């Protein structure tokens, strides 16, 4: 029995010491990412490993976050076009009104007095018209009489019975009578014009009397009231605002502020979900109704206004509430995707030398192959494509040398931007305007697709560099348009028994 206990104790001690040699086998701590152990480069007490995540199928959704203010679909400010003392207010906050309902009344006394004064002026103008008409009749009679006298004086002068002075006096009398008639006719026209002006003044006075009664221009709800009985309103320079009426609180809008970087891809009809601070547990749904072209700049941040329509049948949404929105600008269902953090892995030159598959020599020629393929699809002839290959190959080789150098990964992105700009400038000189326009159209159609590179686990516990095309991305996943398939393992780090620090860190996950 003692021998049996001694043997059991020795076996237990041996198991304890054997477990201390490999911390990755400690029970109760599952790995955060899949690891491939047994690779080269032992670090301290544990072997280094490649940390990987798998390419999978799923949805990728682009969601735009924004904030905004709840407003009525139609909101009308009711003012006064006349000045005076408010004698009665017939509505209050939240009062429901119909079009034409009386909202308030302004004292009409001075406007009635003005109307009566104008009506008296009208009677005077009408009487003056009669006087001028009588003056015309008198002038006509006088003219006719003087013409007869002139005819007699002319006959007598021809008979040498009167002097020439008498004839000239008769002629002057006719001229004066004609002038008097024209003057009387002009005075009559002036009197008639005065009547027309007075009639217009009377109509204005009657309109002002009607305007002393403030009526609702639409059906709706009073959401703001700014006057009380006894208050005086002055409409000398502008129309004072008395009430604000919301047309229909069951049909609301959200005025959302969209930052400049999120405007691309936002379209009418995109679905929207939002909450308000008053009801954080209730999610409201709507859709984008309009994206306004007018921009606003505040603190050097450019924003655009998107109008979101939402039904408010329960009436719990109130004007002015703050809305926190999530706008689904695009969705790709059941696509090949990858956790967005996977593309952040940037191994050091030492890690590349140790872990890269020796058969993996990634060349950037694929970027130029895409250019040549695009030229062919744009209708460019094969001879011109071969000519462009020679020019592009010679001009872009220095950039490709840097891009293909794994030890200069920090320079890859700016070099690729220069490569794209250089390629565009060369093609402008090589192609006709029609060919370049067709080529550029194809390039713009691919603007949502970007080129990238991922380190992928190879079959012998090494990693290889694979060119890929990324599509739509959200906060968690990025779409893989090409380059990898479901089930491929993408390297996210290199570490020991635990995941190695930040992406692209030194072996073992320590700081450099």
- Place domain 63-72+246-333 in its CATH homologous superfamily: Efflux pump adaptor protein, beta barrel domain (2.40.30.170)
**Domain at 78-107+213-245: CATH code:** 2.40.50.100
pLDDT over 70 (residue 42): no
The pLDDT confidence band at residue 237, using thresholds 50, 70 and 90, is low
Q: Under a CB-based contact definition with an 8 Å cutoff, are residues 329 and 64 in contact?
A: yes
| Average pLDDT of the residues in 283-304 | 92
CA distance linking residue 90 with residue 101, whole number of Å? 9
Q: For 405-440, what is each residue's pLDDT tens digit?
A: 767 767 777 888 888 888 889 988 889 989 888 888
**Coil, helix or strand for 460?**
coil
Q: What burial class does residue 382 get, using C-beta atoms within 10 Å of its C-beta: 0-12 exposed, 13-18 middle, 19+ buried?
A: exposed
Nearest 10 degrees: CA dihedral of 64, 70, 74, 77? Answer: -130
Q: What is the pLDDT of residue 490?
A: 92
Other C-beta atoms closer than 10 Å to the C-beta of 71 total 17
- List the domain boundaries for the chain: 50-57+337-509, 63-72+246-333, 78-107+213-245, 111-202
The whole-model pTM stands at 0.56
Q: What is the pLDDT of residue 242?
A: 93
Q: What burial class does residue 458 get, using C-beta atoms within 10 Å of its C-beta: 0-12 exposed, 13-18 middle, 19+ buried?
A: buried
Other C-beta atoms closer than 10 Å to the C-beta of 417 total 11
CA distance linking residue 144 with residue 146, whole number of Å? 6
Mean pLDDT of the chain: 82
Q: Highest mean pLDDT: which of 141-155, 273-287, 375-389? A: 273-287
Q: What is the pLDDT of residue 445?
A: 67
Q: What is the pLDDT of residue 280?
A: 92
| Average pLDDT of the residues in 451-459 | 85
Q: What is the pLDDT of residue 482?
A: 83
pLDDT over 70 (residue 377): yes
Q: Under a CB-based contact definition with an 8 Å cutoff, are residues 221 and 94 in contact?
A: yes
* Among 143, 226, 132, 237, CA closest to 186: 132
Least confident of 26-40, 361-375, 438-452, 454-468: 26-40
Greater confidence (400 vs 289) lies with 289
Q: What is the pLDDT of residue 508?
A: 38
pLDDT over 50 (residue 51): yes
pLDDT over 50 (residue 457): yes
Side-by-side strand order, sheet with 84-89: 213-215, 102-106, 84-89, 232-233
**Coil, helix or strand for 495?**
strand
pLDDT over 80 (residue 88): yes
pLDDT over 50 (residue 143): yes
3-state secondary structure string across 337-382 = EEEHHHHHCCCCHHHHHHHECCCCCCCCHHHHHHHHHHHHHCCCCH
CA distance linking residue 313 with residue 249, whole number of Å? 8
Q: Under a CB-based contact definition with an 8 Å cutoff, are residues 83 and 208 in contact?
A: no
């Amino acid at each position: 029995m003692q021998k049996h206990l001694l043997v059991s104790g020795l076996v237990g001690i041996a198991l304890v010491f054997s477990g201390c040699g490999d911390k990755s086998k400690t029970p109760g701590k599952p790995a955060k990412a899949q690891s491939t152990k047994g690779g080269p480069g032992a670090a301290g007490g544990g072997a280094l490993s490649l940390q990987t995540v798998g390419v999978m199928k799923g949805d990728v959704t682009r969601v735009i976050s924004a904030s905004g203010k709840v407003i009525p679909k139609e909101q009308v400010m009711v003012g006064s076009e006349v000045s005076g003392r408010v004698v009665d207010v017939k509505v209050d906050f939240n009062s429901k009104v119909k079009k034409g309902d009386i909202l308030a009344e302004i004292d009409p006394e001075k406007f009635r007095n003005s109307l009566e004064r104008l009506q008296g002026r009208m009677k005077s103008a009408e009487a003056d018209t009669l006087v001028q008409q009588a003056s015309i009749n008198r002038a006509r009679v006088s003219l006719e009489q003087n013409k007869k006298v002139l005819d007699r004086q002319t006959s007598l002068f021809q008979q040498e019975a009167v002097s020439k002075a008498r004839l000239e006096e008769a002629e002057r009398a006719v001229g004066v009578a004609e002038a008097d008639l024209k003057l009387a006719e002009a005075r009559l026209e002036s009197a008639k014009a005065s009547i027309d002006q007075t009639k217009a003044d009377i109509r204005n006075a009657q309109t002002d009397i009607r305007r002393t009664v403030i009526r609702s221009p639409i059906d709706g709800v009073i959401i703001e009231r700014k006057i009380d009985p006894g208050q005086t309103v002055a409409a000398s320079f502008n129309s004072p605002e008395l009430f604000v009426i919301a047309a229909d609180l069951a049909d609301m809008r959200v005025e959302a502020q969209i930052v400049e970087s999120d405007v691309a891809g936002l379209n009418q009809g995109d679905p929207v979900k939002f909450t308000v601070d008053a009801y954080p547990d209730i999610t409201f749904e709507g859709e984008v109704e309009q994206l306004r072209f007018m921009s606003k700049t505040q603190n050097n941040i450019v924003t655009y206004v998107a109008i979101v329509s939402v039904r408010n049948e329960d009436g719990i949404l109130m004007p002015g509430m703050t809305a926190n929105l999530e706008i689904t600008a695009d969705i790709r269902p059941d696509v090949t995707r990858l956790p967005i953090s996977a593309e952040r892995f940037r191994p050091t030159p030492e890690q590349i030398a140790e872990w890269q598959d020796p058969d993996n020599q990634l060349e950037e020629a694929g970027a130029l192959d895409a250019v040549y393929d695009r030229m062919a699809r744009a209708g460019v002839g094969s001879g011109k494509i071969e000519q462009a290959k020679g020019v592009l190959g010679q001009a872009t080789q220095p950039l490709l040398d840097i891009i293909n150098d794994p030890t200069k990964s920090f320079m890859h992105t700016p070099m690729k931007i220069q490569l794209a700009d250089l390629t565009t400038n060369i093609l402008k000189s090589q192609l006709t305007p029609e060919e370049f326009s067709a080529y550029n159209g194809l390039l713009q159609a691919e603007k949502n697709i970007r080129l990238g590179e991922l380190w992928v686990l190879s079959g012998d516990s090494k990693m290889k560099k694979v060119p890929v095309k990324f599509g739509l991305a959200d906060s968690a996943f990025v779409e893989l348009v090409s380059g990898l398939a479901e089930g491929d393992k993408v390297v996210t780090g290199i570490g020991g028994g635990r995941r190695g620090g930040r992406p692209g860190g030194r072996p073992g996950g320590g700081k450099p």
